Structure 1
């Protein structure tokens, strides 16, 4: 076979992967999707991304020359409400109207709109990039194989109705489930079709502890589930010699008018209280509110450790980023955190919600440089074993090949 014919043959026989991404924001799910796409063997796989929302993700895909399509359906762009039922984002049962809108949207997507959108694509496998996309499983299964990628811990809830509803859909129509942690896999409880593939990060060469400055890094903004309130309560007890760098999205801290303040206090009492606490803490000399940045690498390099005070079960991406850079972590003992953090080995686990315990762990560890170094080395070793990009991309590729009956056109 001539060279041009071989190239044409290979292009025709690549496994076509359609990634579907749901959200407008930037976070762990789009980062993980982009990491997978960048590392895929392009001689065997042909990835394409369908974005349901116009977002910053589009800009990143453009920068990296990753092929994508922005959904043009007005339903998905303007009216779509995806079904999120996780410990981080479930809808309270008393919000009957909101739940009704979500389920109406879910059924319209499953039986009407998703199929219309998918008609425009030729794919072998649909890779659903979040557990909130359960409405896409059935329509996607009509034309190819379906992977349901769980990147958020699904909640069983109080009565289990929504949990069983989602699990039933996955059990019936998904060909494979990828879970980013054992905890996430245990929650969906479909062991016969679930593979655990940890999120990963490019691991830099070498290990750097910093230049003698005692500092900690918190990456989470003022999202309640990421433990911002716990951290703010801990800061007054943290040694004043320790620099506290806070990254992520935060509200503007400038003064607001009297009338607006009254409305804010009445309508959003928790947010109002948290904002005032943040304003007070921002005046501390050892607190630096950095805000959101495209990369945490430079700040992470100069940090002594990373703090992850999550208040609900969740895979903490800052933890694996810390390990990749040889930094230990101080993290809450939420369910599943002990899966990635070995207490007293590569970090310290403190009791969830205990601000004093958080401050004590930070003060103890930052002031013990040899312990910091040893824990950082242990974390980096773990990063190479569990969060290695080459190893974990290979696991994803093996899932694709398994779904295509081991098809490999290039052996």
Structure 2
């Protein structure tokens, strides 16, 4: 069984989808299949490069530039045209406009499996996406029609996804997963983090993008007796820095930038709770939540219509969910957990149990392999 994964980017590019694909590819090696990954390079004006990561063949197509979060890469399409006839299944991680164009041009005979990580939302916040969306929508429609099967990460997302909800028979719900061994904590590093920042720690992590809602979490921290460690890089960084200064929170909120993977587990271990304050359905699942659950940390998240976040974090069981764009509700939820160590411990234990039962990558890989077998049968 020969499988070709098409991904926008791939490890060591840091992102939830990229980490998931790495963990999935490693776990799928236990099954009788041969897997190759075709992705874009991370930087503009780059050339195509082949390499092996964890004994997985990775082809990184060079890109000319990035336009509206989309790599411009004739090389991606060229490589797919050369490769596609050699594979039984094309596994496409969406959204990925390059993959759509490649399939349109190549017209592969292989089975096509879409892994639907998120809708492209015609955002009222990011006007560029709103302008681009009418051009993208028919391309997306072509790929959906061509697909033999579509994997969606939660029932909630499938139910509320405008392009997918009418296609129930073609869709299968399989959540994202995590390899717990990928993240480890170091006791000395944990103690150092606690000493450096002091007191109770609220941890949040993600690309500093408009839909993450970090500005609402920053404002919430005015009413919380704890510090906030916010990890990640992105276009919103300067804006968030100015907000922290204007709110007088420089001694309470720390933007630590990109966190090395070898240190990431220690940050989860050091915190009291993890908060993901996203405000748009673009946040479809939140794989960082699985990382926090793996370290038995309670969660504070937002209840976004149609997103799978509130299915991952069960309100009152693994954490607390609140309305999006509500700083006072975020503050209240954080204070509720911080002020009650028994509740924090219980929610953290529930979170870990839920992770082991539903989100361990070996469970997810087995479900995806069964979809491969079903397609070829």
The bucket for the TM-score relative to the shorter chain is: 0.7 to 0.9
Superposition pairs of residues 185-196 of structure 1, within 5 angstroms: 185-186=158-159, 187=161, 188-189=164-165, 190-196=167-173
Distance in 1, Cα, partners of 2:168 & 2:355:
25
Name 1:177's counterpart in structure 2: 150
Name 1:293's counterpart in structure 2: 259
Assess if the C-alpha contact under 8 Å between 1:329 and 1:346 holds in 2. Answer: yes
C-alpha spacing 1:290/1:83, structure 2 compared with 1 (3 Å): closer
Alignment partner of 1:364 is 2:330? no
TM-score of the superposed pair, with normalisation by structure 2: 0.79
> Equivalent of 1:306, from 255, 261, 274?
274
Task: Report the Cα offset of residue 161 of structure 1.
Answer: 5.4
Three-state SS of the structure 1 residue aligned to 2:203 is strand
> Equivalent of 1:201, from 170, 173, 178?
178
Name 2:89's counterpart in structure 1: 125
C-alpha spacing 1:65/1:83, structure 2 compared with 1 (3 Å): same
Distance in 2, Cα, partners of 1:32 & 1:376:
22
Alignment RMSD = 3.6
Give structure 1 stretches of 5+ with no counterpart: 1-14, 85-101, 252-269, 406-411
C-alpha spacing 1:120/1:207, structure 2 compared with 1 (3 Å): closer
Name 2:33's counterpart in structure 1: 45
C-alpha spacing 1:281/1:156, structure 2 compared with 1 (3 Å): closer
Assess if the C-alpha contact under 8 Å between 1:346 and 1:375 holds in 2. Answer: yes
Alignment partner of 1:333 is 2:319? no
> Equivalent of 2:56, from 66, 89, 102?
66
> Equivalent of 2:3, from 17, 37, 49?
17
Distance in 2, Cα, partners of 1:62 & 1:246:
32
Alignment partner of 1:34 is 2:22? yes
Alignment partner of 1:78 is 2:64? yes
When structure 1 is superposed on structure 2, of 332-341 and 136-145 the one drifting more is 136-145
Which string of whole-angstrom CA distances, capped at 9 and with x for unpartnered residues, describes residues 124-167 of structure 1? 11111222333334445523111111111344789995686255
Which string of whole-angstrom CA distances, capped at 9 and with x for unpartnered residues, describes residues 13-64 of structure 1? xx111111224853112111111110014551111111233459x9997553
Assess if the C-alpha contact under 8 Å between 1:249 and 1:291 holds in 2. Answer: yes
Count residues in correspondence: 343
Q: In terms of Rg, which structure is larger?
A: 1
> Equivalent of 2:77, from 111, 114, 128?
114
Task: Report the Cα offset of residue 181 of structure 1.
Answer: 2.2
Name 1:228's counterpart in structure 2: 214
Name 1:245's counterpart in structure 2: 229
> Equivalent of 2:364, from 392, 400, 403?
392
Assess if the C-alpha contact under 8 Å between 1:248 and 1:290 holds in 2. Answer: yes
Distance in 1, Cα, partners of 2:350 & 2:117:
25
When structure 1 is superposed on structure 2, of 304-313 and 21-30 the one drifting more is 21-30
Name 2:294's counterpart in structure 1: 324
